[in-house]
Amino acid sequence: FMVKLERKDLEHLSKLELHFESEIIRVGLSLVEEGIEILAIDLAEKGSIILTKDKGYRLEIGEVHKSLGLDYGYMVSGFAFGLSRNYDLETIMRLGQGARIAYSQADNLDRIDMADIKSIMPRINIRKINY
């Protein structure tokens, strides 16, 4: 149903170096065509690209105070939470990206709550990618 990859994962799968977003999207779409319904491509501090069979989305996160580092599944957790609540896709994407940022920026993971994620969500810019 959903797969979340980093750019380096796409490069490994495709055996290509991906320097441009158009290349990332093209390789990502080839995976969507294989049956993945939602493909999230994590670009770390540069945000994410979300691809479905119908549309793509570019999520930009603005200024980040620390390096985002590894995700450890927080983005997928945000997506799963939003899907379980039947939220619209935009809210689901904001939840996923917000969770990814909140947990990556936290000094103490035990102190993160939904308020932290919600404070990040409005700062996420979502742009449609047509293909």
Query: Can you tell me whether residue 38 is helix, strand or coil?
Result: strand
Q: What digits encode the pLDDT tens for the residues 16-63?
A: 999 999 999 999 999 999 999 999 999 988 899 999 999 999 999 876
Q: What digits encode the pLDDT tens for the residues 100-111?
A: 998 887 766 677
Neighbours of 21 (CB within 10 A): 16
Element (H, E) at 60: strand 56-60
- Please state which CATH number belongs to domain 2-129: 3.40.1190.20
> Could you tell me if 78 and 87 are in contact, meaning their C-beta atoms sit under 8 angstroms apart?
no
Q: What ranges do the domains of the chain cover?
A: 2-129
Rounded Cα distance between 61 and 80, Å, is: 20
Query: In residues, how long is the chain?
Result: 131
